[in-house]
Amino acid sequence: MKVGIIGLGLIGGSMAVDLKRKGFADEVIGVEAEPVNAAAAEKIGLVDRMAGLDQCIGESDLIVLAVPVGAAVKMLPEVLDRFAEAGDEGKIVIDVCSTKEHLARSVRYHPQRRQYVASHPMAGTEYSGPWAAMPGLFDGHACIICDAEESYPKAVRTVESLYEALNMRTIYMNSSNHDVHTAYVSHISHVTSFALALTVLDKERDEKHIFDLASGGFSSTVRLAKSSPDMWTPILSQNRDNLLHVMDTYIEKMQAFRKAIDEGDEAAVRSLIEEANKIRRIIR
């Protein structure tokens, strides 16, 4: 199978390497709009060959849209348009984005909708670009396939085998539930890390040496604050309603801590910590 990957960053680049390595793809064709990234992807050897967007869509059996979700929302209907023009019902396009409702809405009534499979491989690091791509990135993680009933069953099976080749376990849900879940288990973590970084950076203006003391705990809590604005601006915008709901709960919890600490109510502080400790039964 010929796989075309549009966007050779962390996700697209890592997928390119492993789909070839695991034998799922006979050939990987890469598209990268940013010239510096394209040159790097080529030099690193992430794909078999680079191509223009039209050529890639024309020649590939399966296309992976590995661009930020803002760009994906625009490109997805265009790719399906191209499938229609080519009259080829066998071609498949997938996305790998962290929000799904906007994407789903963008092609809901598209005549080629069933050639699209919505998928979200839940793996990544705080780094981005072709330099961040690595073999094994997806290994052992979960992949969500959304609204599978909207796609051709054969297309879904092909995408399942793609993620099997990446050694991921597949979970199924609709786009709307997907976006609620990711707001809780991914998006809010990024916002809390960004806010933590901003807080400490504010202080650093006066106290240059504050970071000399930064502990391992701080580093792990603030790590996601290094994440790319190109990727995260559209995610936070597109998952607006779910995220605002989670942020409001989060701010309430912070206010509960603030009140307990402000009032010197050690029993209340202890009880909040004990409640939070229940995360132990879930996160190893």
Map the footprint of its own copies across residues 93-152, applying CB under 8 A.
122-126, 141-142, 144
Quote the Cα angle for 84-86-89, to 5°.
60
Contact pick of 16, 62, 117, 225 for its own copies (by CB under 8 A): 225
> Residue 33, interface with its own copies (CB under 8 A)?
no
User: Cα 109 to the chain's mean position, in Å?
Assistant: 25
Q: Which is nearer to its own copies, 39 or 251 (CB)?
A: 251
For the chain, report the end-to-end CA distance as a whole number of angstroms: 39
Min CB(190)–its own copies separation in Å: 7
Q: How far apart are CA 47 and CA 34, in angstroms?
A: 16
Using CB under 8 A as the binding criterion, the count of chain residues that bind its own copies stands at: 90
Nearest to its own copies of 84, 273 (CB atom): 273
Taking residues 173 to 212 in sequence order and writing x for each that binds its own copies by CB under 8 A, - otherwise, the string is -------xxx-xxx-xxxxxxxxxxxxxxxxx--x--xxx
Q: Hey, is 128 helix, strand or coil?
A: coil
Q: Are 134 and 152 in contact (CB under 8 A)?
A: no
Find the shortest distance in angstroms from Cβ 72 to its own copies. 15
218 binds its own copies (CB under 8 A): yes
Least distance in Å: CB of 201 to its own copies? Answer: 6
Taking the complex as a whole, the smallest distance from the CB of residue 152 to its own copies amounts, in Å, to 26
Q: How far is the CB of 260 from its own copies (least distance, A)?
A: 8
**123, 138 contact by CB (below 8 A):** yes
Contacts of 37 (CB under 8 A, 6+ apart): 8, 9, 129, 130
Quick note: the x/- pattern for its own copies over 230-259, rule CB under 8 A, is --xxx-xx--x--xx-xxxxxx-xxxxxx-
Question: Which stretches does DSSP call E strand in the chain?
Answer: 2-6, 27-31, 49-50, 62-65, 92-95, 116-121, 142-146, 169-173
Query: Quick one: 53 or 71, whose CB is closer to its own copies?
Result: 71
